[in-house]
Structure 1
């Protein structure tokens, strides 16, 4: 094994990925397994996580003999469910080293029509849910004086996006939570960082951005002139979880194809005609 490979090796590690049955969470689980990590994927629907775990267990040779993935029913809005998922990871694989808070939902509507219940629901999933899972995992991490927490934020943590106020506000709060945990828990050997994906089509946003005027405007403000993929986000998670990122704490890595760096660009969406300058 080369020095470069060793830097990113996760062999012997165990991760719990909330929202791990689909999208970015599942992509992170996949690349973790490819780097030697055993993974518990959690989501509210047990059938979905069991199917995801079955698929993930086909990634490596001989995975039927030595399972690398397992699924658990997990609702991050429920304290007992979160604790049971952490216990399940310990019972299944014997330890817990990494937590990825990837569970999320979307609410798109004009802000004037947004209800307090809708706002609170998104905060409960994205922010309080991440806190619940982090607190439960931190009990294990403190005992072993080692642990890594990765929170999934968003480009919406940095800039305004129309009609997704609850989501953007919750993702901004996720960055604040990341910094707070990093500052307070480093003394226990726990590193906490975030990843802010750019626009990646997943189940919660695909209808909003693929083939739409909103999607056209996104691509026209992305220097790489395309949406990202879940796999491209997962690479940042490996870096943060591995020895390569062992001195990184309290930061959120943006993976957005240059979206936040763009002022006036010269890209255009593949389904739109370039406009006159």
Structure 2
């Protein structure tokens, strides 16, 4: 007997995705749209989210009369911008049900050289930025007693990586924010969960891991012996946003090709084939 797809049906739902112009944010927005949701793509660079929204809108129905994906300029470092983006979603689609906090930046430098400004900058985007958007949307969710917040954490929320201390601390903080909101806001009908992607080449990390010794060592430690793709993260987002996860609250799902499970296994180092 085929499994019903209704558990993952997001028809009638509206999602706001920060960092929606590229990478994991765009992939998650695409998957939500493909499961019936309408999406608002938020990003600091308006032209980038405009281009992404145009691409995603083409995936909607053939009538072309009503958009299913729209862009909004959103700087998660600004309270006013976060509130304006939520209002825009409400005004455009008449509701809001899902928020994905995917906006992020990277800082790679030896920890001895790390400054307080570096740390504060990443915290302001990742943690405080996610809080700003969650609070702005949370007022709507509390009033309707329904809403799903999904925070994009990282594999570095669980383990250390050299020379990305500020990023790792910020992403660990995303897990703490997820736990706190899940505990405090569940009584308002709001579920808060997270996703911890493994190594997915995106605009902020591609030069660090593709074709580098760092990337080789990552693959050596990944049982599936490859990097992931944004679309492989998006399935977890659909699940967490959908009725299938109606009793799931306060968890962060690693999607990492087995990286966290890796111990001593078969070598996948490039030099193995030469022996």
* Secondary structure of the structure 2 residue equivalent to 1:100: strand
- Alpha-carbon separation, structure 1, partners of 2:194 and 2:152: 6
Alignment of 1:1-277 (within 5 A): 4-62=4-62, 64-269=64-269, 272-274=270-272
TM (normalized to structure 1)?
A: 0.96
Instruction: Tell me which stretches of 4 or more aligned residues in structure 1 moved more than 6 Å.
Output: none
Residues 220, 266 of structure 1: 8 Å contact kept: no
| Cα distance per residue 1:14-61 (max 9 Å; x no partner) | 000000000000000001110000000000011111111000011133
| Cα distance per residue 1:94-116 (max 9 Å; x no partner) | 00000000000000000000110
- Alpha-carbon separation, structure 2, partners of 1:86 and 1:268: 46
- Alpha-carbon separation, structure 2, partners of 1:225 and 1:109: 26
Describe the shift of the 1:81–1:36 C-alpha distance in structure 2 as closer, same or farther (beyond 3 A).
same
Residue ranges of structure 1 left out of the alignment (5+ in a row): none
TM (normalized to structure 2)?
A: 0.97
Residues 222, 267 of structure 1: 8 Å contact kept: no
Give the RMSD, CA atoms, in angstroms.
1.4
Residues 32, 238 of structure 1: 8 Å contact kept: yes
- Alpha-carbon separation, structure 1, partners of 2:22 and 2:230: 10
- Alpha-carbon separation, structure 2, partners of 1:205 and 1:263: 24
* Secondary structure of the structure 2 residue equivalent to 1:107: coil
How far is the alpha carbon of 1:276 from its aligned partner?
A: 9.6
Residues 223, 267 of structure 1: 8 Å contact kept: no
Equivalent pairs, count: 274
| Cα distance per residue 1:106-158 (max 9 Å; x no partner) | 00000000110011000000000000000000000000000000000000000
- Alpha-carbon separation, structure 1, partners of 2:39 and 2:128: 23
Residues 178, 250 of structure 1: 8 Å contact kept: yes
- Alpha-carbon separation, structure 1, partners of 2:187 and 2:61: 39
